[in-house]
């Protein structure tokens, strides 16, 4: 008796599964009715069974689309479009692969630079641990999560035509992941830029620079919080962000395209200011032209991030979201994944330079600039190491040797400044 019940339940499940599969392999009844109605209205001279003729008849296709959009549910309309495209031999859009070199290589480079930064901190290079380090740790973690979400979305059909995603219920899953993606992206970009500003505050000590840096930090925090709320509540009720395609429910949603463009323009403006501020300070230093150029190039690498942000805006402009979001949103998602990794790279480049100087001191550490660097908790009497040049007007802390800069005790490490340029130990 028990075996009979188990077999009965199994057969019911198989039949239900087969019915569910068949439901996406056959035209819904509303589409069949529309076809009969359009042909009866003399919208075409093609026979009902002449598929090639019906596919080539633009008037028939337009009338069918209008009828299906009003007579069928959104899900049935998508299914009709998918099956119609198959009959007419229209190939589906494949989208980008899961492991794309365009996103994988930036992730690998950012991971190497991030790992170098953590290793350098444990070695005592580039100053002690600070708020900028803890902030970039969170930003890097979010960047890895963003990369993973992109792969997961592609697994569920992101990048394909909305109507080609199989089964259609995967559209809801894709849009849920995209919802999470936008929130993590906004948080990650803001945190990475805040980390850079916190790092710069440990180097540049001029009053005007510090006021500007704190202002930029406040702006980045405000941008992040504002757009986190905007994206998380872009639809009321919130679930419309991922299930409106199926239900057709009317709610209140902000213009996603307009919000995305405004956020991009604000970020580009802030990026530009963040690059120009330290470069301007460097050119005020009493350093050789070679060192000025080297340090300026290091900070100017932030322009790469600005360039990616601009490319992201241009790509989004030509792929604005309308009737096929899973295809039109993939380019901006692709560039967003690249942008978050480059943000981590830019934040970790200065520590990479400190590691190179430590490993190759004779190649990268030599300089004729005899300037020194002091910790915040150093006694008031300035050290004398044969230095004849005064400190620069911008009050940037500079180093005289690794024994001075990189062997601070744990108590002082947290509050130490970061050296900007390194001296050859033999010059001391």
- Residue ranges of the annotated binding site are 50
Residue 222 is classified by DSSP as: H
Residue stretches of the annotated binding site for heme: 50
- Give yes or no for a contact between 130 and 351, defined as CB atoms under 8 angstroms apart: no
Nearest to 396 by CA among 370, 380, 419: 419
Distance CA 133, CA 118 (A): 8
Nearest to 374 by CA among 412, 325, 321: 412
Distance CA 181, CA 216 (A): 24
Q: Find the DSSP H helices in 128-203.
A: 131-155, 170-201
Distance CA 363, CA 371 (A): 19
Nearest to 368 by CA among 304, 291, 306: 291
> What is the largest distance, in Å, between two alpha-carbon atoms of the chain?
100
Distance CA 196, CA 132 (A): 7
- Give yes or no for a contact between 178 and 158, defined as CB atoms under 8 angstroms apart: yes
């Amino acid at each position: 008796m028990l075996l009979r019940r188990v077999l009965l339940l199994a057969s019911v499940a198989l039949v239900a599964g087969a019915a569910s599969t068949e439901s996406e392999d056959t035209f819904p009844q509303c589409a069949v009715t529309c076809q009969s109605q359009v042909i009866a209205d003399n919208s075409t001279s093609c026979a009902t069974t002449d598929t090639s003729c019906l596919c080539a008849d633009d008037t028939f296709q337009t009338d069918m689309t209008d009828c299906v959009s009003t007579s069928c549910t959104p899900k049935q309309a998508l299914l009709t479009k998918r099956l119609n495209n198959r009959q007419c031999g229209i190939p589906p859009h494949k989208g980008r692969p899961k492991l794309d070199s365009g996103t994988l290589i930036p992730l690998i480079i950012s991971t190497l630079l991030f790992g170098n930064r953590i290793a350098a901190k444990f070695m005592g290079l580039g100053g002690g641990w600070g708020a900028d380090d803890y902030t970039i740790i969170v930003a890097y973690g979010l960047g890895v999560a963003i990369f993973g979400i992109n792969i997961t979305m592609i697994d569920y059909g992101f990048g394909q035509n909305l109507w080609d995603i199989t089964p259609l219920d995967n559209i809801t899953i894709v849009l849920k992941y995209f919802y999470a993606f936008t929130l993590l992206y906004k948080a990650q970009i803001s945190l990475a830029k805040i980390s850079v500003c916190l790092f710069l505050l440990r180097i540049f000590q001029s009053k005007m620079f510090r006021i500007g840096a704190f202002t930029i930090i406040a702006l980045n925090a405000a941008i992040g919080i504002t757009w986190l709320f905007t994206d998380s509540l872009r639809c009321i009720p919130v679930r419309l962000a991922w299930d409106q395609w199926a239900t057709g429910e009317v709610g209140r949603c902000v213009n996603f395209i307009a919000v995305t463009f405004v956020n991009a323009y604000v970020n580009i403006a802030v990026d530009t200011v963040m690059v120009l501020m330290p470069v301007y300070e460097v050119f005020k230093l009493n350093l050789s032209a070679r060192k000025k150029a080297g340090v300026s190039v290091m900070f100017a690498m932030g322009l790469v991030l600005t360039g990616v942000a601009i490319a992201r805006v241009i790509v989004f402009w030509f792929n604005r979201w309308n009737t096929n979001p899973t295809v039109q949103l993939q380019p901006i998602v692709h560039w967003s994944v690249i942008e978050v990794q480059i943000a981590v790279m830019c934040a970790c480049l200065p520590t990479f330079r400190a590691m190179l100087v430590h490993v190759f001191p004779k190649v990268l550490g030599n300089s004729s600039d005899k300037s020194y660097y002091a910790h915040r908790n150093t006694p008031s009497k300035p050290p004398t190491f044969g230095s004849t040049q005064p400190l620069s007007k911008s009050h940037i802390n500079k180093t005289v040797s690794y024994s001075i800069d990189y062997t601070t005790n744990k108590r002082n490490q947290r509050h130490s400044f970061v050296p900007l340029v390194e001296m050859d130990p033999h010059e001391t």
